Chains A and B, each alone.
Chain A
Amino acid sequence: MTIRDQVLHAKDGLILYGTPMPSRILLGTAGYPSPAILAQAVTASEAGIVTVSLRRETAGGRTGTRFLELIAGLGVKVLPNTAGCRTAREAITTAEMARELFGTDWVKLEVIANDDTLQPDVYGLVEAAEALTHEGFKVFPYTTDDLSVAERLQRAGCDVIMPWAAPIGTGRGIVNRAALESLRAYFPDVTLIIDAGLGAPSHAAAAMELGFDAVLLNTAVAKAADPARMAAAFGAAVKAGRLGYEAGLMPPRDMAVPSTPVAGTPFFDLDPQTSDPQTSDTKTSDRKS
């Protein structure tokens, strides 16, 4: 298989709680113009997991049942979230209801502290993660880039940790690159998924180049002018970023270094005294390109 084939058909081994995944992108299902466009976007992204939620149903309503049928037709695994929960207790109950509804013990754990930032309440998050792990859940906690909190979550039994790039729905991309680099370096063997805040395919590629195992996004695809096309763009960016990380990125340098060999440069004289007067004041450093 050529390198190009590897890029186009990368099945490069993300395993979540023992389950092999077909790709390194997880896609949210909210906010699409229509169910059909949601389905197209999921397919185009090559996501193997989609996030879902649960909400109050009106008497006699069939909205939830229809949505479940749509998702079942996509052949992907579902990751129910606890979006909107304010306390560990709310999140635990929501996870328990989600487990019965969706038939999975996987849960994207969210405990939200603040309406404006949607910042995780990390205290409630750790408390809920401990309780849910004890109940047999496989917890995917949505957290900040705080290393100490990640440590607590790992100790609580989380094999996967999902730090934010930026607050949910902002599309700002990686706000605190240094913190994410520290996380990656400190937890080389923990599965780390960048969740929230990615706005452009380049943001996803950057996250993958830092060595993160996967990305989870929603708004950037759902609110694009053409969600399916944007989903494909994110899918390609995730593959490119991962491949770049695996290939080994060159370290940045402070000063320019010529890529074209200097040896044998024409019109170049080692003794400035004997060179053509028109070029005699040209420094060697000006001859790099």
Chain B
Amino acid sequence: MTPAGTIDLVLNGRPLASVARTVGDLVREQEFTDVRIATAVNGHFVPEARRATTALNPGDRVEIVAPRQGG
């Protein structure tokens, strides 16, 4: 059962009950405030400038990614 005031999201493939209502809220809640990340919701890119105004709804799938080694 979802705790009061939270919504069920999927963050980076894992279920998460969150009080966040926007992508910006979620980034702060998950302590990504002073690191380089990029975000997407339901497979669509959310630029940094739009995180604060991009609403989150129950069931949304959020990706928060960072630079990594690659070939």
Contact = CB atoms under 8 A, between A and B. Distances in A.
Contact of A97 (B30, B32, B45): B45
A59 B45 contact: no
A100 B35 contact: no
Interface in A75-91: 80-81, 83, 89-90
Given A56-B12, A68-B67, A97-B39, 12 more contacts: A28-B69, A53-B70, A54-B68, A57-B66, A59-B32, A61-B66, A63-B68, A64-B65, A67-B68, A93-B40, A100-B47, A219-B71
A64 B12 CA distance: 15
Most A-side CB within 10 Å, residue of B30, B39, B64, B65:
B65
A57 B36 CA distance: 10
20 contacts: A31-B71, A53-B67, A57-B65, A57-B66, A58-B12, A61-B35, A62-B35, A64-B36, A67-B68, A67-B69, A68-B36, A81-B70, A93-B40, A93-B43, A93-B44, A96-B38, A97-B38, A97-B65, A101-B65, A101-B66
Contact of B13 (A56, A67, A68): A56
B55 interface: no
Given A59-B30, A93-B43, A51 B70 contact: yes
A64 B64 CA distance: 11
Contacts of A89: 43
Interface of A: 28-32, 38, 51-65, 67-68, 71, 80-81, 83, 89-90, 93, 96-98, 100-102, 168, 218-219
Nearest to A71: B67
B69 A29 contact: yes
Contact of B64 (A29, A56, A90): A56
A231 B43 CA distance: 37
Contacts of B36: 64-65, 68, 101
A60 B63 CA distance: 14
A67 B47 contact: no
Nearest to A108: B70
Interface in B18-71: 30-32, 35-40, 43-45, 47-48, 63-71
A81 B71 CA distance: 7
| Pairs of residues from A and B, 5 with the lowest C-beta to C-beta distance, nearest first | A64-B66, A53-B70, A28-B71, A97-B38, A218-B71
The residue among B35, B44, B66 with the most chain A CB atoms within 10 A of its own CB is: B66
Contacts of A101: 36-38, 65-67
Nearest to B35: A65
Contacts of A32: 69
A219 B13 CA distance: 28
Given A54-B38, A93-B44, A97-B38, A63 B66 contact: yes
B57 to A, nearest CB: 18
Interface core residue of B35, B45, B48, B68 (most chain A CB under 10 Å)? B68
A61 B70 CA distance: 18
A28 B71 CA distance: 4
A101 B66 CA distance: 7
A171 B53 CA distance: 47
Select the residue from A52, A57, A59, A96 with max chain B CB neighbours within 10 A. Answer: A57
